[in-house]
Structure 1
């Protein structure tokens, strides 16, 4: 049986392009799933903090944050957010920067590692991104994160204990160290089969092409091995 293609994704749940990239990957996967010999894929999300110095309770909106963080004029930030909102809409996402509560994301990353250990990482990643970008929910405080964890079927007490003890903080730091080793400076960043890097929120077709090409080569390699 052919070994699945591995896709390791470095992202931050507070990265608007990461959610768009996630959706585009999912659309690419849907397209190849209809193939007669559909590629099999294993996806793992990894932690990347875009702004680790951000306070849990940031005083201001997203425009305030980006204007201060990037030193850009407010008008330019507003135009940039409008552009991202339009790209997100094309991916089927309704971004609400007017509701967004900017926060530190390290606890959200710890929760993702807890969810991974419980077999719910994909559901947790989707819930956190949706909560942050489309619902204006706070994703930096333990109480709020526990509520979101329960929504995807995780145990509230165990999730709280994991966050309060920082049990999964070393796993977050390990992901970040691996990102540095790969030379990843921006997200989303997709590492396919541990050797091919795809940077940014590429369109669905880009993922389709890579997956079909790799799966085809893998099949050819196995055929050659069997013939020997």
Structure 2
């Protein structure tokens, strides 16, 4: 949801912005095959009832609908996402980072796919244009694991404790799925700060590759 709102904001900014996705696990200790559903996990984690967990989740589903996303929380499959992160970083080396990120998110939140399963991840990778054999080999080993852990260590240094977390120019941070207007305001602020303001008068000697222009009196 935060990703989609950022994308909506970028359409309103007349300035090139480069977006890079980084790795972060909410629960690195989570197993690959989880019997609990999302409501049971939330109820246990936050000490609430199943009904309260469903109500809270439904609010998120409604917010997702407002930006064109279809979250199917009733059938969402909880799993460890480390290998999904490894796949995204591998896709980045092939020029498919954005496509792979979008595909995994849709598979998880909308299609209720098991994104901890290597067969599932391989099929998703092939869909975005990656080589099946290369992906299967990567997932079978520990390739890209160091890259994922390095990102997670960087996140700790920045004090990241939840997602989504947006860091702009390594200086400004936005946490949570902020409204598109908030992203627009933040991006415009950073862009304005990066612009060079000419403070000198027009009376100085101005030189370029063609020579020097003598100030007119």
TM-score by length of 1: 0.84
* Partner in structure 1 of residue 74 of structure 2: 98
The 2-side partners of 1:28 and 1:209 are apart by 9
Distance in 2, Cα, partners of 1:114 & 1:133? 22
Residue 37 (structure 2) pairs with residue 56 (structure 1):
no
8 A contact 1:189–1:200 mirrored in 2 = yes
RMSD: 1.6
Contact conserved, 1:39 with 1:212, CA < 8 A, in 2? no
**Is the Cα contact below 8 Å between 1:39 and 1:211 reproduced in 2?**
no
Q: Which structure has more RCO (C-alpha within 8 Å, separation ≥ 6)?
A: 1
**In structure 1, distance between residues paired with 2:179 and 2:90:** 30
Supply the distance in 2 between the matched residues of 1:42 and 1:63 (Cα, whole angstroms). Answer: 36
Deviation at 1:162, TM superposition (A): 1.2
The answer on 1:45 being equivalent to 2:21 is: yes
User: For residues 88 and 27 of structure 1, what CA distance do their matches in structure 2 show?
Assistant: 13
Aligned pairs for 1:80-159 within 5 A: 80-159=56-135
User: Which protein has the bigger helix share?
Assistant: 1
Does the 8 Å contact 1:188/1:199 carry over to 2?
yes
Q: List runs of 5+ in structure 2 lacking aligned partners.
A: 207-217
Question: Equivalent residues in 2 for 1:194-205 (5 A)?
Answer: 194-205=170-181
Residue in structure 1 matching 2:6, options 11, 25, 46: 25
Distance 1:82 1:217 in 2: 39
Output the TM-score relative to the length of structure 2.
Answer: 0.88
Q: Matches of 1:224 and 1:156 in 2, distance apart?
A: 57
CA distance in 2, matches of 1:224, 1:136: 57
Name the larger-Rg structure. Answer: 2
**Secondary structure of residue in 2 paired with 1:88:** helix
Question: Which string of whole-angstrom CA distances, capped at 9 and with x for unpartnered residues, describes residues 94-141 of structure 1?
Answer: 110112111110110000110111111110110000010011111001
2:173 aligned with 1:207, yes or no? no
Structure 1: gaps of 5 or more residues: 1-19, 33-37
Cα pair 1:88 1:95 within 8 Å, conserved: yes
